[in-house]
Amino acid sequence: MLKNTNIQKPIEEPQKPKPDECCGGGSCCPCVWDTYREQRKAWLEVNEKLNKT
């Protein structure tokens, strides 16, 4: 019998940008907050899948 050796390790939760990482001007593309939100969404999806198994 074969064992499943494809065990996924949960990725670390992304950290919110520090106050000095955002200029607050709203003209950066992408903004550090845009990147954070995308990474957090991906993190939530991965962890949701891992919790269902």
Stated pTM of the model: 0.72
Which one, of 11, 18, 6, 21, lies nearest residue 46 by Cα?
11
Could you tell me which residue, 51 or 33, shows the higher pLDDT? 33
Which one, of 12, 10, 11, 16, lies nearest residue 34 by Cα?
16
- Let me know: does 42 contact 10? Beta carbons within 8 Å: no
The two tokens of residue 10 are 């949960």
HSE of 22 in the Cβ direction (CA atoms, 13 Å)? Answer: 14
Q: What is the pLDDT of residues 9-27, one digit of tens each?
A: 557 899 999 999 999 998 9
